[in-house]
Amino acid sequence: MILKTKSFQNTQTQQAIAGQKQEQDVAFYLRRAFKDHPEVLVINDFRFTFNDETAQIDHLIIYTYGFVLIESKSIKGHVEVNQQGEWTRSHGSKWFGMPSPIKQVELQQALLKEMLKQHRSEILGKLLGIRQQSFGMRCWDHVCAVSSDAVINRDTMPTAISELLVKTEFLVDKLKKIMNLKSKFLRLINVSDTRPDFNQEELNSIAKFLIDRHIDPSQATTEITFVQTPQVKEPVASFAVNKVAEVKNQAIAQLTTNSILHCKHCGESTNYTPMYGKFGYYIKCNQCTKNTPMKQACPQCQSTQTKITKAKETYTLHCNDCDNHYRVI
């Protein structure tokens, strides 16, 4: 099941355009393979912040037994990795060093794992109502998907790195081998597979937690600056205070130029209908017909202590921690 599509940015350089094309190709194969699979959840272009660190994961898979992170790399020409794990790539007749995408995705994985671990009590229930479940014993894997027209020299490449490097066209086969998914019946009778699994409710809970924390770089936020009251004579003081309140109210009324709300399923940011239901205010996307809650993390401080209020046709997100307001519709 595809939870989030790729968020495309305006790019001008050839390298950035090629990078987006590679991520789009990977997203295409993931969609073809898992769009109807309820136990394989895919988040494309996932950005999050934790412990003052920000990470961007090209493709994140949440499945019955754990997680797979996929780093996409557009590589034209040859790619080689020496025994020290150092990467080089060719461009024309010249060779250039490049950062290791394996090391990059390892750092992303470590930060994601730490964030989920800290919030485990919010996401997972207790085993038999006694022991708090966690994410440490789950399966954690990562791979690097490179362009299908890249030339990979595996003869001199360390085996451990070669196992993690796959061309886009073979990615799904690699993922199926890593996940090794079985039917519910086979899970019950196969005593040799001791991997702890998530049930569907837990998968959905993890997905909601992560989607709620995704940061969309294209969404603008407004920081409200309060005007200090000037030191004036008493008769003018009340006017000055009222002027400050007027400036503040104007800022809150304007809030953001662009809506901070979009459909979490297809990314649509304008074509939707505001609704109210059992779990509060939400939008119904007129493009994919799915629902997205209006309540989300604060764009300024990322706090989840927020609430949605409605005044006539205006919906506002209020953060209880930093006291900022943001117009969502």
> Mean pLDDT for the chain?
81
Strand order in the sheet with 151-152: 94-98, 87-91, 78-81, 151-152
Q: What is the pLDDT of residues 278-325, one digit of tens each?
A: 778 888 888 788 888 988 887 777 778 888 888 777 888 888 877 777
E-strand ranges in the chain read 2-4, 40-50, 53-63, 66-73, 78-81, 87-91, 94-98, 126-127, 131-132, 139-146, 151-152, 165-167, 272-277, 280-285, 291-293, 306-311, 314-319, 325-327
What pLDDT, in 10s, does the model give residues 50-106?
988 999 999 999 999 999 999 999 988 899 999 999 999 998 888 989 999 999 999
Residue 232 scores a pLDDT above 70? no
pLDDT tens digit string along 153-163? Answer: 999 999 999 99
Q: 263 or 3, which is more confident?
A: 3
- Kindly report which listed range (37-51, 152-166, 253-267) carries the lowest average pLDDT score: 253-267
Check pLDDT > 90 for residue 174.
yes
Q: Which of 207, 313, 310, 316 is nearest to 253 (CA)?
A: 316
